[in-house]
């Protein structure tokens, strides 16, 4: 069998490509936005990626065209598929039919933390010899790949609420039929496809409807948006996590790197790991609960998490030059930005935090978060917004909210120059974007290295 994937460099679709290749299927694909880490991962797997959407990529005709949700009517390849009667299918449906059948699916849903929580959960199962399969929207450092077939029965999937395809407007996660579900949190996002929070809650209600009575739903305690979903109907046992939940954390270190894990008031052990922030504490609690449902005792999970190495592009340290640490963070929502910076602040104390931010997600580019983005960045000492001419909204109010700490620049070259001039030993530079950001991380590190060489010449 030969499948051709349209939009193959998206995090989800790249995972589909790896799973299909592992099943012995011939895989090729097309994409207009080819950049690491997914392009690198595909190349290492020997999967051919073609630039653009030329219909010629589809001759001779593959057995199936797997169409990513970034594809729309009017795309040349999509029109060719339809006009020539080629067989096509969405990525989530292909996953459900070719991989998830007869698997114990553990799905991680929510507005924030899906990738990290999925990575934690997959590691907990792997480290305890359960050999799970997984498909994650990022590359866990413990695995060095975003997808793996694994062995039956367990399969961990990052369960996105985004729509499935141009021909299937249901959320991706309704295809997965999970037995174990984590709902990390729920806020308004994806304004390009959802009118309001209520529309998103309806999709989560549909997810809840698919979970069997002998399954488990793990959700935050006392989070109103999630409670509203569950009040519409829940036919599955529920465990909660958070300050008032079944699963709780008692901090031993304010940055979240050490805490006691409690289940129904009883200590399960003490967590020590290298992750930071209360968001990651919550991610860990949810993953421990899900792993316990799959048969891993909480105490074993706590031991395993000491060796969890994080996820690429989630506060990933890309380099340290002259005492200046540069991080890459997959930022896409004000709440996640605020909690990430709060965790870093608690770890680095009074050291300066400098942020370069690209409003890359569809929702950010629409200006939906313009009122909350500024306050989410107050934990930083200086912030540079990438404000190209085509951004579509005015960053001036956000800059003003930061009271002299915010700057808007139209080019990444200008941002690199500003950071190069401002940064000094002991600073922490966080590059925030859920896109390529014109390879800002590598270019900044190169510029800092050149400055170092000039100063020592």
Domain range for 86: 2-90
Tens-place pLDDT, residues 230-255: 999 999 999 999 988 999 999 999 99
For the domain that residue 119 is a member of, what is the CATH number? Answer: 3.40.1190.10
Q: Which of 37, 70, 90 is the last residue of a domain?
A: 90
351 in any annotated domain: yes
Q: Which pLDDT score, from 0 to 100, does residue 362 have?
A: 55
Q: Considering only CA atoms, which of 325, 375, 330, 319 is closest in space to residue 348?
A: 325
More confident residue, 332 or 156: 156
Specify whether 15 is located in the same domain as 78. Answer: yes
What is residue 186's predicted lDDT score, i.e. its pLDDT?
Answer: 93
Q: What is the pLDDT of residue 190?
A: 67
Q: Last residue of some domain: 261, 286, 305?
A: 305
Does a structural domain hold residue 199? Answer: yes
Q: What are phi and psi of 370, to 5 degrees?
A: -60, -30
**What is the domain-level CATH number for residue 40?**
3.40.50.720
CA 41/CA 26 separation, integer angstroms: 16
Residue 44 has pLDDT above 70, yes or no: yes
| More confident call, 18 vs 192 | 18
Q: Is residue 311 situated within a structural domain?
A: no
Residues 353, 439 share a domain: yes
Give the count of domains, the chain.
3
Q: Do both 335 and 187 map to the same domain?
A: no
- Count Cβ atoms within 10 A of the Cβ of residue 432 and give its class: 0-12 exposed, 13-18 middle, 19 or more buried: buried
Residues 383-389, mean pLDDT to the nearest whole number? 90
pLDDT at 232: 97
Mean pLDDT of the chain: 92
Tell me if 414 is assigned to some domain. Answer: yes
How much is the pLDDT for 364? Answer: 60
Could you tell me the pTM of the whole model? 0.85
Rg, C-alpha atoms of the chain = 22
Indicate whether 381 and 426 sit together in one domain: yes
Q: Is residue 32 part of a domain?
A: yes
One domain, residues 121 and 266: yes
Q: Within a domain: residue 21?
A: yes
Q: Is the domain of 292 the same as that of 374? A: no
Cα–chain-centroid distance for residue 243?
A: 24
Judge whether 344 and 330 are in contact, CB under 8 Å.
no
Residue 3: phi and psi, rounded to 5, are -115, 145
- Mark whether 346 and 263 lie in a shared domain: no
User: Are 296 and 347 contained in the same domain?
Assistant: no
DSSP string, 204-228: HHHHHHTS-TTSEEEEETT-HHHHH
Same domain for 197 and 330, yes or no, is no
Residue 192 to residues 3, 178, 368, 391: CA-CA distances in angstroms?
29, 26, 10, 15
Residue 365 has pLDDT above 60, yes or no: no
- Return the structure tokens found at 294: 């799959």
**144 and 264 together in one domain:** yes
Residue 367 pLDDT class (50, 70, 90 cuts): low
Mean pLDDT lowest among 56-60, 62-66, 309-313: 309-313
274, 305, 336 - which closes a domain: 305
pLDDT at 375: 85
Q: Is 429 helix (H, G, I), strand (E, B) or coil?
A: strand
Q: Are 241 and 289 in contact (CB under 8 A)?
A: yes
Beta-sheet strands, E only, within 104-167: 104-109, 133-135, 147-148, 154-158, 163-165
Residues 82 and 131 in one domain: no
Q: Are 183 and 209 found together in one domain?
A: yes
- Tell me how many degrees the CA angle 399-401-406 measures, rounded to the nearest 5: 35
- The total number of residues written for the chain in this structure: 457
């Amino acid at each position: 069998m030969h499948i051709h994937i349209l939009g193959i460099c998206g995090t989800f679709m790249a995972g589909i490509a790896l799973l299909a290749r592992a099943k012995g299927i011939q895989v090729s694909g097309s994409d207009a936005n080819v950049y690491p880490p997914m392009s690198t991962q595909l190349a290492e797997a020997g999967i051919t990626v073609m630039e653009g959407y030329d219909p010629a990529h589809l001759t001779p005709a593959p057995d199936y065209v797997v169409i990513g949700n970034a594809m729309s009517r009017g795309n040349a390849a999509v029109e060719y598929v339809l006009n020539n009667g080629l067989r096509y299918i969405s990525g989530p449906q292909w996953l459900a039919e070719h991989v998830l059948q007869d698997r114990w699916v553990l799905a991680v849903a929510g507005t924030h933390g899906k990738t990290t929580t999925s990575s934690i959960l997959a590691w907990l199962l792997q480290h305890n010899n359960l050999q799970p399969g997984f498909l994650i929207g990022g590359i866990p450092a413990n695995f060095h790949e975003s997808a793996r077939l694994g062995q039956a029965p367990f399969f961990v999937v990052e369960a996105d609420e985004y729509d499935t395809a141009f021909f299937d407007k249901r959320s991706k996660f309704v295809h997965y039929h999970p037995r174990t579900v984590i709902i990390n949190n729920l806020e308004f996002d994806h304004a390009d496809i959802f009118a309001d929070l209520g529309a998103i809650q309806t999709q989560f209600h549909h997810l809840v409807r698919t979970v069997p009575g002998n399954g488990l739903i793990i959700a935050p305690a006392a989070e109103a948006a999630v409670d509203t979903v569950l009040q519409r109907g829940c036919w599955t046992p529920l465990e909660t996590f958070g300050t008032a939940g079944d699963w709780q954390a008692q901090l031993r270190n304010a940055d979240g790197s050490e805490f006691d894990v409690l289940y129904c008031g009883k200590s399960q052990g003490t967590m020590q790991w290298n992750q930071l922030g209360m968001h990651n504490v919550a991610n860990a609690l949810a993953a421990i609960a899900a792993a316990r449902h799959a048969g891993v005792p909480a105490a074993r999970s706590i031991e395993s998490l000491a060796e969890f190495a994080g996820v690429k592009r989630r506060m990933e340290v890309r380099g340290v030059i002259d005492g200046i640490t540069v991080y890459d963070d997959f930022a896409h929502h004000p709440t996640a930005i605020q909690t990430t910076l709060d965790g870093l602040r608690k770890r680095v104390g009074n050291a300066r935090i400098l942020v370069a931010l690209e409003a890359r997600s569809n929702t950010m580019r629409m200006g939906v978060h313009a009122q909350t983005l500024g306050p989410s960045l107050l934990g930083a000492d200086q912030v540079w917004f990438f404000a190209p001419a085509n951004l579509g909204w005015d960053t001036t109010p956000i800059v003003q909210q930061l009271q002299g700490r915010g700057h808007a620049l139209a080019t990444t070259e200008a941002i690199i120059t500003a950071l190069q001039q401002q940064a000094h030993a002991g600073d922490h530079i966080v590059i925030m974007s859920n896109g390529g950001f014109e390879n800002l991380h590598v270019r900044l590190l190169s510029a800092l290295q050149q400055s170092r060489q000039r100063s020592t010449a």
